[in-house]
Chains A and B, each alone.
Chain A
Amino acid sequence: MTGQGPRGAKPRRRLSGRNIMLYGTLLFVSLYYLLPLWVMVMTSLKGMPEIRMGNIFAPPVEVTFQPWVKAWAEACTGLNCDGLSRGFWNSVRILIPSVILSILVASVNGYALVNWRFKGSDVFFTVLIFGSFIPYQIMLYPIVILLREMGIYGTLWGLVLVHTIFGMPILTLLFRNYFSSLPEELFKAARVDGAGFWAIYFRIMLPMSLPIFVVAIILQVTGIWNDFLFGVVYTKPELYPMTVQLNNIVNSVQGVKEYNVNMAATLLTGLVPLIVYFVSGKLFVRGIAAGAVKG
């Protein structure tokens, strides 16, 4: 951090002291970030004897995919021994309706807040944003009662509703900010042509906002897939999402610890958000920045 200013032209000497310091630090930091991923992959490909004798950072001498098979299809939680696949499919079944419903509701909210303001609409929006800071713990039990009254406590649909509710603040903010950046003339022209609330939403707003829908999908897929608390509180053991089942497998006190199976299971659970992250690239960054920069 000494020498020339950071905004100047690229320094000509590649191996200046400054550059060695700079890239050295960045590489060292990258090592800290990459280490757990490396350890996860390597451990999941080793047999237990090798793990007991060896070094967790070393690559496997003998590669085996047995831990992956076991984690997916045979690992036990309680009496069930059908592996993480159960949690995976539960998570998929929770994820798809939650993502669709939460984005649909929030995009309509954003649209109504920008183009169809009514008395008090901004008050609701402010409460919504403040609501996103309230610790979930304070709303956990009232929601249990609500879901029970509706007859969906402990079902997938109960959890879908919870994800829709708690995804609403950030997604509504995202859509509101995006829709308010669109030219108002478009909306006015459509109104003059006689288009109503839903016609404008489906024919004009929706086709024009595909990028923001992608950002919202990324945000929700990673957020809902990674949820643990709501899964524990609002579903039954047969319907536990993957994160909950993973924790139950790895932190179970019974039996001999099989670290290779545990790491394969951990990787399997992290795979969906990781794929989303690596495929989406800059859109992921845009999604998290949208959460940080309030409109």
Chain B
Amino acid sequence: MAGTLRRIRPFRNIYAKIAAIPMVLTTMVVFVGGTLWTVTYSFTNSKLLPKLNFVGLDQYERLWSNSLWLTSIQNLMIFGVLSLVLTMGLGFLLAVLMDQKIRYEDTFRTVMLYPFALSFIVTGLVWQWILNPDLGIQHVVRGLGFPAFEFDPLSNPDTVLYGLLIAGLWQGTGFVMCIMLAGLRGIDEDIWKAARVDGIPTWKTYAVIIVPMMRPVFITTLVLVASGIIKLYDLVVAQTSGGPGNASQVPAMYVYRYMFTAQNLGQGFAASTMMLLSVLIVLIPWAYLEFGGKKRG
């Protein structure tokens, strides 16, 4: 019996193996191979063409002494922290509001989620227009009889990130709200009944019971939102093109500039390797929690 199975198996599975070729090639050649390739070439002095001329950590030293890169990293940190805290916070608050057995829930959800269907390019361009200092919100409020009103975040290097944040939140909070709402709906009705019987006020039930119970949902959302923020590119390109000056540059733009326009491949590879590193910093603790937890349970 065992003998016949062993003889038949390679024939039976051959179709499955053929069918899996695209997946194997994608994972091994593109994901693993491509990543290793870029990391390797980040230690070379490749300029216009990739060349295996190793120069140690030169590219990284140059990277971390480049003010454009430092600005990009700083911008990403500020934007990232604010955007993470606000999307998660507002997303959860909106989900709680939506979970109050309200009427027209579907309508409200449709309204909050539609920006998520739009591209970052469309998002960036609309908000660029609304925040236009000469004709947008500032102009309208001034026309209402407040001639000193100032609201022009995109022209000022100190506030441009907040302008991007307004657009980013508009696009992404609906998505977080939806996931959080699904999480809230997944909580057993009996827990609410028990809390009510014990006379625990609603806000306290949320803070002390519901939020800790939704930890997995929070962590998954956190990882999704954070890895999206690190990739931030289209929104900035559309809304500010990295300006004014270089005030809203982000790492992904730096990579693109060095790889495809400045013809300094090694520098682009080093920058993208740093981006990978930052994703790993987010990802490894999460994977550890997820898979470590599963093994114990």
Which A residues fall within an 8 A CB radius of B? 1-8, 10, 22-23, 25-26, 29-30, 32-37, 39-40, 43, 51-52, 55-57, 105, 108-109, 111-112, 116, 118, 121, 124-125, 127-128, 130-131, 133-143, 145-146, 164-165, 168, 172, 196-198, 222, 225-229, 232-233, 243, 246-247, 250-251, 259, 262-263, 266, 269-270, 273-274, 276-278, 281, 284-285, 288-289, 291-294
Contacts and interface: CB of A to CB of B under 8 A. Distances in A.
B140 A5 contact: no
B43 interface: no
B178 A30 contact: no
Contact of B196 (A5, A25, A125): A5
B88 interface: no
B13 to A, nearest CB: 5
> Which 10 A/B pairs are nearest by Cβ-Cβ distance?
A226-B119, A116-B16, A197-B15, A131-B31, A142-B34, A277-B117, A139-B34, A137-B272, A127-B27, A7-B192
A128 B23 contact: yes
Contact of A288 (B22, B116, B140, B273): B116
- Give the interface centre of A26, A105, A246 by most chain B CB atoms within 10 Å: A26
A109 B22 CA distance: 8
Nearest to A104: B22
Contacts of A247: 121, 125, 237-238
Contacts of B112: 29-30, 33
B23 A56 contact: no
Given A139-B35, A228-B238, 6 more contacts: A6-B101, A7-B101, A140-B255, A140-B272, A141-B38, A228-B234
Chain B residues touching A, range: 35 or more
B1 to A, nearest CB: 17
Given A56-B129, A118-B20, A135-B231, A142 B121 contact: no
B151 interface: no
A105 B22 contact: yes
